[in-house]
Amino acid sequence: MTLTGFRAADLFAGAGGWSTAFRRVTGVSPVAAVNHWPVAVATHQANHPKTKHFCASLHGFDPRLVGAPPKIVLASPSCTGHTPARGKDRPQHDEARATAHAVVDLVEFWLPDWLLVENVVPMLQWSRYPAWKLDLECLGYRVCHTVLDAADFGFPQHRKRVYIAATRTSDAIRLPTMPLFAPRQTPVSSIIDWSNPGPAISEERFGAITMAQIAAGRVAYGSRFMCPYYGSQRAQSATCSVDKPCGAVTTHDRYLVVNGEHARFLTVRELMNLQGFPPDYILCGDLPDQKKMAGNAVHVGMGEIVIRAVLGHLL
């Protein structure tokens, strides 16, 4: 396949996890990237300058603006309606879930050879998922999925996601599965900058619940460990060893890194490292924006694995 055969579009492109993985595998960036958030578009543009960028909602987006139809569509629709981390279900969550239908609308216009979608696993339990899949099948696509955890592939983060592939070609869909002999787990300590200890630990700064977690963590792990800072794990007073992969990072400061008598949240660079981005990746926006982009991103390393599996025979 020539480079023109790798003409791809990245939908809900965010900071560019899919795009970065695609460029690493094929040597070219997607020809187009679409996202509704200006900060994410600016970040994507800074790192993928050869890509044509559109700051727009996918609902009502004119696919003719991209030019020649892409052969490959990469997409990561909003996961906020599916993930349990959203909290109590609200009307806007169903609106977020429905963004997946915008992908089908563009696929119907372009009829690419391949569609690759990443999302949280609960998308498979979405009440409208069977209809979404059927829409693709009615367009002539074969659809299959796999659920993968990044930690099973040697990355220092437990990040379980569903990867969905659809094709109109005669080529069989080759999706990766959990390795029969999984590589040795990579500890999260490998990406933590221990020279940056953070502020001194105090109840005034972190609160009584966190102080109790820290006390329990010292008993279990010594002077260095991690504390979940919100959600169900925090309620259970859980702590995490830095000698193992951490849990999935999110758009919030989820983990507190304890280093002796000091503690801090994971830095943006540590979060981006956990998500597989290169150290020189450019991020726009303020600190909360950057952490949001990191938490929302498609894991670059896992994206590479999926793309290589699906398109490997073409490379």
pLDDT tens digit sequence for 181-216: 777 899 999 999 999 999 999 999 999 988 999 999
pLDDT tens digit sequence for 24-62: 999 999 999 999 999 999 999 999 999 999 999 998 899
46: alpha, beta or left? (left if phi > 0; alpha if psi -120 to 50):
alpha
At residue 264, φ and ψ (nearest 5 deg) are -160, 170
Helix segments in the chain, DSSP class H? 17-26, 38-47, 91-97, 99-110, 129-138, 203-206, 208-221, 232-235, 268-274, 287-296, 300-311
Residue 86: predicted pLDDT: 47
Compute the distance between CA of residue 70 and CA of residue 3 in angstroms, rounded to an integer: 12
Residue 229: predicted pLDDT: 83
Residue 179: predicted pLDDT: 84
What residues in the chain have per-residue pLDDT under 50? 82, 85-86, 89, 92-93, 235-236
Residue 99: predicted pLDDT: 82
